[in-house]
Amino acid sequence: MSHEGIRFVTAEEVLRDSALAAAHQAERLPAEAITPAKVRVKKSEGTGVEIDWRDGHHSEWDFRWLRDACPCATCNSEREAEGRSIGEHKPKSPDPLALYQAPPRPDEITSIGNYAINIKWNDGHQAGIYSWTYLRTVCQCAACHSTKS
C-alpha cells in the first residue's frame, strides 16, 4: 500500500483552505511586507510583474499566472466551479480547431490609490484589482510557496 497517509481533498476544500490561509497570512503581515518599494511591470518584455517590498522581500509573477489569479468575483467563481487554484491555468481545450489564444499580456496597468493595481488584459478583461496585500499573499517565491503548500 503505497498510498497510505495521503489525504485526498476535494477542490472545494483546497480552495477554502487556501483562501483561509491567505486571509490568515494577511492578518499577520506587517505594513512593510505589503508596501512595495519598487514595482516593475515588464510589459514590453511581455514577461510579468516584479515587486521589491519594503521589508526586503522580492516577488515576481508571470503575466499568465496573474491572469489566472485574477481576484475579481467572476474569475473567483469560475475557478471555484472548475476546481482550479489561484494562478492555475485552464486545461487546454481538447478541440484541435479551438481558436489560438494569444498569451495574456496587460494592455494597461493603472494604480488604484496606493493600495492596488488594476490590470486591463489583452483579452479585454479588466475587472481584477490586485491589491498589494493580495499580491504579497500569493508570492510565488520558493520560501513563501513552501509554507503555503
* Residues that bind Zn ion in the complex, under the rule CB under 5 A: 70, 72, 75, 127-128, 139, 141, 144
CB of 83 to Zn ion, least distance (A): 17
CB of 6 to Zn ion, least distance (A): 27
Q: Which is nearer to Zn ion, 9 or 112 (CB)?
A: 112
- The grid cell for 90 is 485552464
Q: Which is nearer to Zn ion, 70 or 117 (CB)?
A: 70
Q: Which is nearer to Zn ion, 9 or 101 (CB)?
A: 101
CB of 140 to Zn ion, least distance (A): 7
Q: Which is nearer to Zn ion, 74 or 111 (CB)?
A: 74
- The grid cell for 135 is 499580491
H, E, C per residue of the chain: CCCCCCCCCCHHHHHHHHHHHHHHHHHHCCHHHHCEEEEEECCCCCCEEEEEECCCCEEEEEHHHHHHCCCCHHHHHHHHHHCCCCCCCCCCCCCCCCCCCCCCCEEEEEEECCCEEEEEECCCCCCCEEEHHHHHHCCCCHHHHHHHC
Q: Cell 478583461 appears where?
A: 125
Q: Which is nearer to Zn ion, 34 or 75 (CB)?
A: 75
CB of 40 to Zn ion, least distance (A): 16
CB of 97 to Zn ion, least distance (A): 26
Give the distance, in angstroms, between the CA of residue 117 and the centroid of all CA atoms in the same chain.
Answer: 13
